[in-house]
Amino acid sequence: MKWKIAAAVPLAVFVGLWIGNTSLFSRFPENKPLAIIAHRGQHQIFDRTNVESDTCTASLMLPPTHGYLENTISGMKAAFDAGADVVELDVHLTPDKQFAVFHDWTLDCRTDGKGVTEETPMNVLKTLDIGYGYTADGGRTFPFRGKAVGLMPTLPEGQQDL
């Protein structure tokens, strides 16, 4: 009898969680259109094979098909021009209490800077080349190097320029 209770409790918990989280019994409202959300705006795509949370995706970029970089004003505008309803972006609070629009926790992957993003003042972040680390050929060429100096926006810049 005890084994039946021991088996029934986890099963009941599982079924309860499934019922509470399934979309099987819900319908999408017909009068509500789907929203198109652009993750980081228009950006370079990369090979997702073996990507983990700390992988430098700028070094895994596929050959570029456009000139936009993620979390830049031009990348956000391009996403809206392509039909996005919303642009999701990443922000870091800097030591001088500004919000920097940038994805990575550290500067080493995408930029010519070093260190932790949120430990770097905005006036320093504004001097970095955020296209510095992008390569599609294992580091032989860097197609965005030198073309994105000073393009890391603050959150207010991103909001007002769009």
Domain boundaries, the chain: 29-160
Instruction: Please tell me the distance from the alpha carbon of residue 159 to that of residue 73, in angstroms, as a whole number.
Output: 9
Give the helix, strand, coil percentages of the chain, each rounded to 5. Answer: 30, 10, 60
Q: Which CATH number is associated with domain 29-160? A: 3.20.20.190
**129, burial (CB in 10 Å: exposed 0-12, middle 13-18, buried 19+):** buried
Query: What is residue 78's three-state secondary structure?
Result: helix
For residue 52, which amino acid is it? E
The two structure tokens encoding residue 99: 């919000």
Per residue of the chain (162 residues), give pLDDT as tens: 677 777 777 777 788 888 877 777 777 677 778 889 999 999 999 998 989 988 999 999 999 999 999 999 999 999 999 999 999 999 999 999 999 999 999 999 999 999 999 999 999 999 999 999 999 999 999 999 999 999 999 999 988 866
